[in-house]
């Protein structure tokens, strides 16, 4: 046990006496040794012991606390013995769901009074009542009388688990019993909205009348075997949350716990425990629900693919909380380049005020030139963000191989970026992908592309962000007097003319990827005159891909820092065919692999509704936003 604790970086000096006390408690015969029977009788069901060993306690039924050791920055009192929790580091146990706080020694005495995540009968469904827990109100104002809740060296105040209202105990009588779920009422599924029903098809399945081998959606049941049905509050948009706890170092685990407290725990799913299917099946018949994906671009692609396979009656829109390294899709949808511990309540309120945009998704088919020649498995068959061959994929592939071999060296976003920098430096020195035109040919809607000899990489873009915020295509400006493209106007299937592609490139794009920019005409117009018709700016839903050439790592760095406006524009088209003559590194949405000679065909698959964050508020004194105008 001590070795496990040391591996998990626990403070062994504090942990050893706690473990000794707990082992004495389950040594029922007083022999000084815990037998297997005694361990099964008391050790396995000892929740604090499981927490100390770093094992997660799964939510089995309502009323069971989910304990975790926690360090408190201010004085906190035990909800059982009402004495102060003392210690230098982690002073006690706190329930993730209801914030019920106890000493380690008091955990077994804690009543099973945790929250109910669903109504126990149809009669209880309807109006949600407040669920009060004593304490947890230090340095807060009373939501009723607006006076400060003072601590008198004891448990003070009450807080509601669902609306998070904090009040004095003497103000309880003045608070209405009905709970409206507070600021997050639009997202929360209160217990009154989930109730058990009798399985109507249970008897028919027992009789064998169902189709053999046919698996229907997973049914969530109570311990009594009754199925749970969801009937959300009218005019709300319940939020289904998927969290990848491995994303962003330990950030994913913290986000998982916080969201389990802010929302109903039955709305929050750990992707490491069963994937997304349990959550999608539970919300299958919920009207107007939204999805929040907490993870990187790969996690978002996983969820979008699962939604395709789930065959839901209505495709829900998806928001992103960026926990990965690049987070290019989150940047384009204005959710930022990475989560740094911001207030989750504010982020959830932004989701409430977000707008729905359609995003193209593309099907990628790989046809090997020689089926006998083995290569790495293709990670995805769907392109959501980008696809690339050459220099950038080589860096990503080396990063991926090193991370698979030494995962302990890649436990934070900053370390990951430093590793990328090291691999990019070595790629600059060795130039493993130079003279790409000798082993790669590209056709856009049947039109061959002429590749320059200096190109070391080719990127196919669906969104205007890559490499953690680089806009490789550059921003498009319209010439003075050029009318905007009318809605519904058809674009040509392929644009490969070099002059048309070079027209109206902004001098310094900045490449921030803070949203899909729709720039207004420049007051002075473009210097080249006369010019071909203006190229429409990249759009998530235009059913077009942008093809860009890269000359090497130095050019990628120049674009990222804003020293260069864009890469070499090669084409804008609706269908692409690529043929390779030797093994080359490739990547889809940040997932790399080494591919033997093959033919790759990219065609349009469908569109997925995504949630775009509201525009950022102006920080200037007069409320004027600096920078290019966004539409």
The two three-digit tokens of residue 592, written as one number: 């790399």
- Whether the CA torsion 20, 21, 22, 25 is positive or negative: it is positive
For range 84-96, the mean pLDDT: 85
Share of the chain above pLDDT 90, in %: 34
| pLDDT band at residue 535 under the 50/70/90 scheme | low
Element (H, E) at 423: helix 413-430
| pLDDT band at residue 161 under the 50/70/90 scheme | very high
| pLDDT band at residue 268 under the 50/70/90 scheme | very high
Please tell me the predicted confidence (pLDDT) of residue 545.
93
Look at 25-34, 454-463, 543-552 and tell me which has the smallest mean pLDDT. Answer: 25-34
| pLDDT band at residue 70 under the 50/70/90 scheme | confident
Res. 100: pLDDT tops 80: yes
Bigger pLDDT: 52 vs 546: 546
The pTM of the full predicted model, rounded to 2 decimals, is: 0.80
Share of the chain above pLDDT 70, in %: 78
Nearest to 398 by CA among 432, 364, 375, 371: 432
The two three-digit tokens of residue 595, written as one number: 């591919």
Nearest to 245 by CA among 264, 224, 260: 260
The two three-digit tokens of residue 511, written as one number: 């490449």
| pLDDT band at residue 381 under the 50/70/90 scheme | very high
Please tell me the predicted confidence (pLDDT) of residue 503.
65
State pLDDT tens for residues 462-476: 998 887 778 888 875
Question: Could you tell me how many helices (H) and strands (E) the chain has, helices first?
Answer: 14, 27
Q: Which of 199-213, 260-274, 501-515 has the highest mean pLDDT?
A: 260-274
Q: How many CB atoms lie within 10 A of CB 579?
A: 16
| pLDDT band at residue 57 under the 50/70/90 scheme | very low
Nearest to 566 by CA among 588, 589, 537: 537
Q: How far apart are CA 276 and CA 299, in angstroms?
A: 10
Please tell me the predicted confidence (pLDDT) of residue 265.
92
The C-alpha R_g of the chain, in whole angstroms, comes to 28
For range 303-331, the mean pLDDT: 92
| pLDDT band at residue 288 under the 50/70/90 scheme | very high
Res. 487: pLDDT tops 80: no
Q: Are 320 and 293 in contact (CB under 8 A)?
A: yes
Q: Are 565 and 474 in contact (CB under 8 A)?
A: yes
Nearest to 92 by CA among 108, 70, 67: 70
Res. 53: pLDDT tops 60: no
Q: How far apart are CA 114 and CA 92, in angstroms?
A: 17
Please tell me the predicted confidence (pLDDT) of residue 1.
56
Q: Are 516 and 522 in contact (CB under 8 A)?
A: no
Q: Return the residue matching tokens 């060993």.
A: 53
Q: Which of 351-360, 559-568, 619-628 has the highest mean pLDDT?
A: 351-360
Look at 51-55, 266-270, 499-503 and tell me which has the smallest mean pLDDT. Answer: 51-55
| pLDDT band at residue 39 under the 50/70/90 scheme | low
Q: How far apart are CA 591 and CA 52, in angstroms?
A: 35
Res. 625: pLDDT tops 50: no
| pLDDT band at residue 488 under the 50/70/90 scheme | low
Q: Are 592 and 397 in contact (CB under 8 A)?
A: yes
> Angle at CA 102, nearest 5°, toward 27 and 252?
100
Please tell me the predicted confidence (pLDDT) of residue 456.
87
For range 351-376, the mean pLDDT: 91
Please tell me the predicted confidence (pLDDT) of residue 477.
52
For range 309-324, the mean pLDDT: 93
| pLDDT band at residue 426 under the 50/70/90 scheme | confident
For range 427-431, the mean pLDDT: 76
The two three-digit tokens of residue 67, written as one number: 């304990």
| pLDDT band at residue 160 under the 50/70/90 scheme | very high
Q: What is the residue-averaged pLDDT of the chain?
A: 79
State pLDDT tens for residues 412-423: 777 777 887 888
């Amino acid at each position: 046990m001590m070795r496990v604790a040391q591996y998990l970086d626990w403070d062994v000096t504090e942990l050893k006496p706690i473990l000794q006390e707990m082992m004495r408690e389950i040594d029922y015969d007083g022999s000084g040794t815990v037998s297997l029977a005694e361990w099964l009788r008391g050790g396995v069901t000892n929740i604090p012991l499981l927490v100390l060993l770093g094992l997660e306690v799964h939510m089995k039924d309502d009323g069971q606390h989910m304990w975790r050791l926690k360090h408190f920055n201010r004085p906190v009192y035990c909800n059982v013995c009402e004495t102060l929790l003392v210690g230098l580091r982690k002073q006690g146990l706190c329930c993730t769901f209801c914030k019920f706080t106890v000493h380690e020694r008091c955990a077994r005495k804690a009543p099973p009074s945790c929250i109910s995540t669903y109504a126990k009968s149809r009669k209880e469904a309807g109006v949600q009542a407040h669920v009060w827990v004593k304490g947890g109100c230090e340095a807060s104002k009373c939501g009723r009388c607006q006076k400060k809740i003072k601590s008198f060296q004891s448990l003070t105040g009450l807080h509601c688990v669902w609306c998070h209202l904090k009040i004095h105990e003497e103000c309880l009588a003045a608070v209405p019993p009905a709970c409206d779920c507070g600021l997050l009422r639009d997202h929360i599924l209160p217990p009154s909205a989930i109730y058990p029903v009798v399985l109507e098809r249970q008897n028919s399945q027992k009789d064998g009348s169902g189709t053999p081998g046919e698996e229907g959606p997973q049914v969530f049941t109570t311990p009594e075997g009754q199925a749970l049905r969801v009937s959300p509050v009218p005019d709300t948009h319940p939020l289904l949350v998927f969290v990848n706890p491995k994303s962003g170092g330990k950030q994913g685990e913290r986000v998982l716990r916080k969201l389990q407290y802010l929302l109903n725990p039955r709305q929050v799913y750990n992707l490491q425990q069963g994937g997304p299917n349990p959550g999608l099946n539970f919300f299958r018949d919920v009207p107007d629900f939204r999805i929040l994906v907490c993870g990187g671009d790969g996690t978002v692609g996983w969820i979008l693919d699962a939604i395709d396979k789930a065959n839901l009656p209505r495709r829900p829109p998806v928001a992103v909380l960026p926990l990965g390294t690049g987070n290019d899709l989150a940047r384009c949808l204005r959710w930022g380049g990475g989560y740094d511990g911001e207030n989750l309540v504010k982020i959830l309120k932004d989701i409430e005020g977000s707008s729905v945009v359609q995003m193209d998704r593309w099907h990628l088919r790989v046809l090997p030139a020689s089926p006998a020649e083995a290569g790495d498995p293709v990670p995805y068959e769907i392109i959501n963000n980008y696809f690339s061959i050459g220099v950038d994929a080589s860096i990503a592939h080396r990063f991926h191989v090193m991370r698979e071999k030494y995962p302990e060296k890649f436990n934070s976003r900053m370390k990951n970026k430093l590793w990328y920098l090291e691999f990019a430096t070595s790629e600059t020195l060795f130039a493993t992908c130079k003279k790409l035109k000798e082993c790669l040919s590209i056709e856009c809607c049947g039109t061959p592309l002429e590749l320059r000899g200096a190109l070391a990489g080719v990127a196919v873009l669906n969104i205007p962000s890559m490499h953690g915020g680089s806009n490789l295509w550059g921003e498009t400006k319209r010439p003075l007097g050029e009318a905007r493209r009318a809605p519904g106007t058809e674009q040509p299937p392929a644009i490969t003319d070099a002059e048309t592609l070079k027209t109206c490139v902004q001098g310094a794009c900045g490449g921030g990827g803070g949203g899909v920019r729709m720039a207004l005409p420049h007051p002075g117009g473009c210097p080249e005159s006369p010019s071909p018709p203006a190229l429409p700016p990249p759009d998530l839903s235009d059913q077009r891909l942008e093809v860009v050439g890269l000359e090497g790592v130095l050019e990628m760095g120049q674009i990222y820092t804003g020293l260069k406006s864009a890469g070499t524009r090669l084409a804008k088209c609706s269908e692409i065919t690529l043929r390779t003559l030797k093994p080359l590194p490739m990547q889809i949405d940040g997932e790399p692999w080494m591919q033997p000679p093959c033919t790759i065909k990219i065609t349009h698959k469908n569109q997925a509704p995504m949630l775009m964050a509201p525009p950022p508020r102006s920080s200037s004194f007069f409320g004027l936003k600096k920078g290019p105008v966004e539409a």
